[in-house]
A and B are shown apart, each in its own frame.
Chain A
Amino acid sequence: MHLWLSVALIVVGIFSLTVGATEVSLGSALWKVVQGEALTRMEAIVLWDIRAPRLALGLMVGAALAMSGAVMQGLFRNPLADPGLVGVSAGAGLGAITAIVLAGLAPMWLALAVGDQLVPVAAFLGGWASTLLLYRVSTRRGRTSVATMLLAGIALGALAGALSGVLVYISDDRQLRDLTFWGLGSLGGANWTKVLTAGPIIMVSVVVAASLGRGLNGLALGEATAAHIGLNVQWIKNTAILTVAAATGAAVAVSGGIGFIGIVVPHLLRLGTGPDHRPLLINASLLGALLLVLADMIARVIIAPAELPIGIVTAVLGAPVFLWILLRQHAMVDL
């Protein structure tokens, strides 16, 4: 399964480099490189500055969201959990909206320091702030209650939503448009700066999270039994929460709100290869990367030369597939 997904990922990845609004062919460009000819300026820019970072970002964001979804489902022992449950999405959304609407008020030094990356930085910080707050609320004497975290997350989400509402209310038309598009998600702003800042965070989190397989399998038997069989339950929780907050925070910061990957991908894989988290976590990051790059290709070509927000594509494709899977299943999902 790992192997098949990896092969598919490479094929789709190469293919995605060849697809786009301009007629630049990867084949002819590669041929030129092989022959030692110089690329045209156009080819260089399109391939290296636009499509390559976009592909890299798509791979990372997809892997981050799907892996985070699988980890959250394991942690909350619930197939419907998604990365948003640790508060990242709500906080990141609020951070992004704040940055979009109040950017004009930011002091000069701040504007200089972060430049045009103000929105991603604010989203990332917002995501982290809310995760830490949730963690704090649900942890007593060194033990984190995931049930409390779930409930507090709902409250925090409502609060962040209300604050965002206030900001939406005072925003002007252009800002309103910006933040609507932010909420729908896009890889359109991909560049190497984003890849190089979000990349390491996501890579490290995904690799660390991949090691949680055994721990999450143990948690499936309940927290008490997980401890009885020798697992350090609090360490598993901490690692899960931190990696998900980091990976999702970084992913949301650079790509906006992209839904459904985190729920659909692990669910599909569980139907195929069972609930064992050891293969599941790795497969989820591979399939997530694959599907997101595919979705991004569709987003780029379907109304070319314009582009659809990728969140729309993942929802339009993901939701019906998800419903179809649920319909086809003999047994109802047991929570």
Chain B
Amino acid sequence: MTLSVHNLSVRYGRKTVIDGLEFEARPGALLAIVGPNGSGKSTLIKAICGDLPYEGSIVFNGTEVADARPRDLAGVRGVLPQASTLAFPFHAIEVVRIGLSSGVGADHADRAHAAMARVGLTGYANRYYQELSGGEQQRVQLARVLAQVWEPVTADGPRWLMLDEPVSSLDIAHQLQIMTIARDFAQAGGGVVAVMHDLNLTGLFADHVLVMAEGQALATGRPVDVMTDVTLSRAYGCDLQVNTVPQSVTPFVLPHNARAAASKRV
């Protein structure tokens, strides 16, 4: 029941965005995908979720993603896209319910409310989605995804969360809240793949890290092994300095000579 990607290539027209990528993700762990803008993280998530044609193979839940039916995939994984839109003025709770409408857990009407509560949006059910703040909207979308794959493990096996920058517009408290939800999901036996820009949160929460650069895997492994000065500086093309939280192996990242860099601009 793993997610295994072999020799994956994805093109937009003639432009190759992912080029021969290999990696594997297991349920029970949180895999963070990091890398600079345009390195192909979202493209990778889209390919894994069956949105894009690809070459190579992506075997998810025992079947090749390209051959899977949307309905079957929806039963085993929820997807949070990097950006979400909504066409008509639905209430927040309706957005969550629409996520359940194709049959997956559709009989659990109260699950939508429970999911809203999980992301700290109790009392927001009947607010118009379009009138919520950016972070609140993002949490509604998260609630939608959580409601869809509510139990991390079912009789049919583990379920997955595919999250493209799940905390990008959240304040620090909500970042921790959402990342904790994701980690709990993984620790309960579910799979989590999360694209991250915040390296410190990645160090805190990820079990595995895939560092991408220009459509390829620059490194994969445990945060402590992968998040090094050399790898990260190379991936992002700037001087980064990785330290370790005292009395732990949790890495945290600072721009090298941050002060000097800032004062130079003045």
**Residues in chain A within 8 A of chain B (CB atoms):** 74, 77-79, 141, 214, 217-222, 224-225, 227-233, 270, 274-276, 334
Q: Which of A77, A79, A276 contacts B94 (CB 8 A)?
A: A276
**B226: CB under 8 A from chain A?**
no
Are A228 and B84 in touch, CB under 8 angstroms?
A: no
Question: Please, could you name 5 A-B residue pairs with CB atoms under 8 Å apart, sorted by A?
Answer: A218-B101, A220-B90, A228-B78, A229-B104, A231-B70
Q: Which A residues touch B100, using CB under 8 A?
A: 229
Q: Which B residues touch A229, using CB under 8 A?
A: 74, 98-102, 104, 148
Given contacts A228-B79, A232-B71, A274-B89, 17 further A-B contacts (CB under 8 A): A78-B87, A217-B98, A219-B87, A221-B84, A224-B51, A224-B81, A225-B81, A228-B73, A228-B78, A229-B99, A230-B71, A230-B74, A230-B103, A231-B71, A233-B70, A270-B89, A274-B90
Give A78 to B98 CA distance when docked, in angstroms: 18
Give A141 to B52 CA distance when docked, in angstroms: 12
Give A22 to B94 CA distance when docked, in angstroms: 52
**B61: CB under 8 A from chain A?**
no
Give A270 to B49 CA distance when docked, in angstroms: 33
Assess A225 versus B79: contact at CB under 8 Å? Given A218-B101, A230-B71: yes
Assess A221 versus B75: contact at CB under 8 Å? Given A229-B148, A230-B103, A231-B102: no
Give A139 to B34 CA distance when docked, in angstroms: 35
Task: Report the minimal beta-carbon distance from B219 to chain A, rounded to whole angstroms.
Answer: 29
Q: Which of B70, B81, B87, B104 contacts A220 (CB 8 A)?
A: B87
Give the secondary structure class of A's interface. Answer: loop
Task: Report the minimal beta-carbon distance from B5 to chain A, rounded to whole angstroms.
Answer: 18
Q: Which of B49, B89, B101 contacts A228 (CB 8 A)?
A: B49
Q: Which A residues touch B200, using CB under 8 A?
A: none
Are A227 and B81 in touch, CB under 8 angstroms?
A: no
Give A141 to B78 CA distance when docked, in angstroms: 26
Are B51 and A227 in touch, CB under 8 angstroms?
A: yes
Are B95 and A221 in touch, CB under 8 angstroms?
A: yes
Q: Closest residue of chain B to A224, judged by CB?
A: B51
Give A195 to B46 CA distance when docked, in angstroms: 49
Are B86 and A218 in touch, CB under 8 angstroms?
A: no
Task: Report the minimal beta-carbon distance from A331 to chain B, rounded to whole angstroms.
Answer: 9
Assess A232 versus B70: contact at CB under 8 Å? Given A77-B87, A220-B88, A221-B84: yes
**B85: CB under 8 A from chain A?**
yes
Are A220 and B71 in touch, CB under 8 angstroms?
A: no
Q: Which B residues touch A231, using CB under 8 A?
A: 70-71, 102
Q: Which of A79, A222, A232, A233 contacts B88 (CB 8 A)?
A: A79
Q: Which B residues touch A74, using CB under 8 A?
A: 87
**B120: CB under 8 A from chain A?**
no
**B36: CB under 8 A from chain A?**
no
Give A222 to B103 CA distance when docked, in angstroms: 18
Give A276 to B95 CA distance when docked, in angstroms: 10
Are A275 and B102 in touch, CB under 8 angstroms?
A: no
Pairs A-B, 10 closest by C-beta atoms: A230-B74, A230-B102, A275-B88, A77-B87, A228-B79, A220-B87, A230-B71, A214-B101, A227-B70, A222-B85
Q: Which A residues touch B86, using CB under 8 A?
A: 220-222
Give A79 to B87 CA distance when docked, in angstroms: 9
Give A227 to B86 CA distance when docked, in angstroms: 15
Are A230 and B90 in touch, CB under 8 angstroms?
A: no
Q: Which of A217, A222, A228 contacts B74 (CB 8 A)?
A: A228
Q: Which A residues touch B49, using CB under 8 A?
A: 224, 228
**B20: CB under 8 A from chain A?**
no
Q: Which B residues touch A225, using CB under 8 A?
A: 79, 81, 84, 99
Give A233 to B74 CA distance when docked, in angstroms: 13
Task: Report the minimal beta-carbon distance from A119 to chain B, rounded to whole angstroms.
Answer: 37
